[in-house]
Amino acid sequence: MSNHYVSINRGKDGFKLSDFTTGSSSTSGDDIELRVADGASLKRKDVVLALEAFERFFESKLNTDFPPL
């Protein structure tokens, strides 16, 4: 099973493809990284729904412990 990684550094707004690093291995030099597993039979919609859930998590005022932002 392989994985796909998409990462971005702080200060990039993501409006250009060149703002992202993509590949089949982790990029330890970037600030934020997303891993998507190939073997999970995921659809694009599944990933979008997960990203929306992450957004709710990080924007929630109830989330006070992680990460220390």
Residue 69 lies in a domain: no
**According to the model, what pLDDT value does residue 47 have?**
94
**Dihedral of CA 44/47/53/57: which sign?**
negative
Number of domains in the chain: 1
Taking every pair of C-alpha atoms in the chain, what is the biggest distance, in angstroms? 36
Region 23-49 average pLDDT:
90
pTM over 0.75: yes
Residue 17 lies in a domain: yes
Q: 40: helix, coil or strand?
A: helix
Residue 51 lies in a domain: yes
Q: 36: helix, coil or strand?
A: strand
Give the integer Cα–Cα distance in Å for 12 and 31: 10
- Is 1 a residue whose pLDDT tops 80? no
Residue 48 is part of which domain span? 3-59
